[in-house]
Structure 1
Amino acid sequence: MLIRNVYRPEIFGCQAAERLADAARRMQEQRVGALAVLDGERIVGIITERDLVRALATSADPASERVAAYASTQMKTAALEEDSSEVARRMLETGIRHLPVDDHGRLVGMVSMRDLLTLETWAV
């Protein structure tokens, strides 16, 4: 199945200068495990639950520390026309649980391991 049939087309994001506490609150409110880090409408990184845990483990103050200090900027992406099994394999190999989805360089949503696991479970 193609990623276009699996991904979540909502874009939940934050700005790099936002506080970690605000990003964590947004993740909780939206019930997502990652946010796109945006510069205007352009994606420049991703902040995940794992990044927040890493920040807390290093004694960062979530009320003052900025998203940019802990966001991953070396991102991989999934394309709408990619096969979901190939994307899942790439995510497993690299230990990534969330991938931004792009359509010819334009951010259109996010796909998670949970999305792909759900597809695999219900496709049986």
Structure 2
Amino acid sequence: MLIRNVYRTTLFGCRADEPLTEVARQMADKDVGSLAVFDGEELAGLITERDLVRALAAGPDPGSETAAAHAATRVRTASLDEDSQDVAQRMLEAGIRHLPVEDGGRPVGMVSMRDLLALEVWSG
């Protein structure tokens, strides 16, 4: 199945300069495990719950640390017309749980490992 039939069409994000406390609040409010990090209109990174835990464990004041300081900046993406199994394989190999989905180089949503697992369960 193509990613266009699986992904979540809402892409929740934050600004690169937002404090980690605000990033955590947004994740909790939206009940998501990651946010796209934007520098203006550009996708600059991806920050996950795991990144927040690592930042807290390192000891800095989460109110003074920014999303950009803890986000993954080498962001892998999926395209709408990619096969879901290929994307799942890429995510497993990279050890990641969330991928922004792009259409013509523009971020349009997010796909998670949970989305892909649900597809397997429901279609099998």
Q: Same fold (TM over 0.5)?
A: yes
Q: Which amino acid aligns with 1:47?
A: I
TM superposition shift of 1:72: 0.4
Match of 1:84 in 2: 84
Residue identity over aligned pairs, in percent, reads 65
> What does residue 52 of structure 1 align with?
52
Gaps spanning 5+ residues in structure 2: where?
none
How far, CA to CA, are the matches of 2:23 and 2:62 in structure 1? Answer: 9
Q: Which amino acid aligns with 1:110?
A: M
Q: Which amino acid aligns with 2:55?
A: A
Aligned length: 124
What corresponds to 1:39 in structure 2? Answer: 39
For 2:19, give the aligned amino acid. Answer: R
The aligned runs of 1:1-124 (5 Å cut-off) are 1-124=1-124
| Uncovered stretches (5+) of structure 1, i.e. residues with no partner | none
CA offsets, 1:2-23, max 9 Å, x none?
0000000101000010000100
What letter is aligned with 2:112? Answer: S
Q: Report the AA paired with residue 86 of structure 2.
A: E
What is the root-mean-square deviation of aligned Cα atoms in Å? 0.7
Aligned 8 A contact 1:42 1:107 in 2: no
TM score, norm. by length of structure 1:
0.98
Distance 1:6 1:41 in 2: 25
